[in-house]
């Protein structure tokens, strides 16, 4: 056993700072910017009026008149993240302004070129991703007050505003609720690398409590998001152009590629949180689910994806606990897995309400919403995952 112990000590300890993960906010971008340099005012003017421009069918005309701007005046990582958020919102509105029956199949070069440029700089695809919609799209009304939904707001929006606001901000709170679990995970990995059963036990107990808190936080979705509005109005703007019957060949990014490009829409599977917990606890998924989840990692900021890969490369928690013969550790591990299973079961309950039940209701009527429910996405997630 001694040689193995020495090998473990040569592996560098895990830390959040190495992966640009905040000790206070986790995977959320701390205090996101709300303004770009003045050079980018044409983008900001459109993005700030997006719901109105989409509902009045003026967005496509406004974008077509937009000047072609270079990304060279984006000075910092935070400015690049805001630029990606702005351009992704404009892109989704532009493509889906008239709904799934008349999607735009060509993204004009004045939007496509800077969007692809900033996407390449950040290492994420040129489409709206979880890192935009949630991680970069939040602000506090009063920085001195705690992070709760009454003290939060979104920076940019689509039609379906109050329900969309609720959907985004509850997800922000889920990400914030995950922070103690991410810290516990780091503590646990290091308790294996520099063996300490007491530290590992404490970390597993904290992780279980955190996963249970995430489940409770997710429950706020019922208070702030109307299922009919989410299904009929919001989902279309989170939809991508990969495996989507409404856009079977994908989207042409003018000036970037003569061939259409295909990207998945936004998905909760693009959040790093559950990927990290899965890798740490050694959770194995069916091949279809595993393939989808691994593909979703390409939609994360590279440092977040690297964090998951780092956890994967550390010694197996399950093997460590089984070989330790410690009953308390075994119980604590099993409780973490049970809590994670309960979280996923609850998530399925939420999806049933907002997707399956809402789809059934939508078939019976044509709501007076813009632009109408996306039938091509019926009973599938916006990332095209099956129920």
Which single residue is written with the structure tokens 């019926």?
A: 378
Beta bridge partners, 253, equal 107
36 secondary structure, DSSP code: -
> Who's near 139: CB < 8 A, 6+ residues apart?
31, 32, 34, 152, 153, 154, 155
Beta strands in 274-323 (DSSP E): none
Q: How far apart are CA 353 and CA 345, in angstroms?
A: 13
On whether 347 is known to bind a ligand per the annotation, the reply is yes
What three-state secondary structure class fits 161? Answer: helix
Beta strands in the chain (DSSP E): 106-107, 139-140, 152-153, 252-253
What three-state secondary structure class fits 74? Answer: coil
Nearest one of 376, 157, 190 to 280, comparing CA atoms: 190
Beta bridge partners, 153, equal 139
Q: How far apart are CA 245 and CA 1, in angstroms?
A: 56
Task: Output the known binding site.
Answer: 347
Residue numbering of the annotated binding site for heme b: 347
């Amino acid at each position: 056993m001694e040689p193995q112990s020495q090998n473990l000590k040569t592996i560098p300890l895990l830390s959040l700072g190495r992966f640009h993960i905040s000790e206070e906010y986790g995977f959320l971008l701390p205090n996101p910017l709300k303004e770009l340099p003045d050079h980018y005012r044409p983008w900001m003017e459109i993005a700030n009026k997006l719901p109105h421009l989409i509902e009045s069918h003026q967005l496509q005309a406004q974008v077509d008149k937009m000047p072609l701007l270079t990304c060279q005046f984006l000075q910092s990582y935070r400015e690049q993240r805001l630029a990606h958020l702005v351009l992704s919102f404009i892109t989704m509105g532009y493509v889906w302004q008239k709904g799934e029956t008349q999607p735009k199949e060509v993204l004009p070069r004045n939007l496509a070129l800077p969007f692809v440029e900033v996407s390449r700089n950040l290492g994420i695809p040129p489409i709206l991703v979880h890192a935009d919609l949630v991680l970069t799209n939040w602000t506090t009304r009063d920085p001195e007050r705690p992070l709760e939904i009454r003290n939060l707001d979104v920076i940019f929006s689509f039609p379906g505003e109050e329900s969309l606001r609720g959907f985004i901000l509850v997800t922000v709170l889920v990400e914030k609720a995950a922070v103690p679990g991410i810290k516990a995970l780091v503590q646990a990995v290091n308790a294996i690398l520099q063996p300490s059963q007491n530290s590992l036990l404490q970390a597993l107990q904290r992780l279980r409590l955190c996963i249970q808190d995430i489940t409770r936080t997710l429950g706020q979705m019922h208070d702030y998001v109307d299922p009919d509005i989410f299904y009929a109005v919001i989902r279309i703007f989170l939809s991508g152009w990969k495996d989507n019957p409404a856009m079977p060949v994908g989207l042409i990014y003018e000036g970037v590629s003569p061939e259409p490009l295909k990207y998945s829409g936004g998905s909760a599977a693009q959040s790093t949180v559950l990927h990290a917990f899965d890798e740490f606890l050694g959770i194995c998924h069916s091949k279809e689910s595993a393939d989808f989840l691994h593909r979703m990692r390409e939609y994360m900021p590279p440092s977040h994806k690297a964090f998951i890969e780092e956890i994967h490369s550390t010694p197996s928690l399950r093997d460590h606990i089984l070989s330790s013969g410690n009953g308390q550790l075994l119980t604590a591990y099993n409780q973490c897995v049970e809590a994670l299973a309960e979280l996923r079961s609850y998530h399925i309950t939420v999806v049933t309400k907002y997707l399956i039940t809402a789809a059934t209701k939508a078939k019976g009527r044509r709501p007076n919403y813009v632009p109408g429910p996306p039938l091509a996405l019926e009973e599938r997630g916006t990332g095209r995952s099956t129920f």
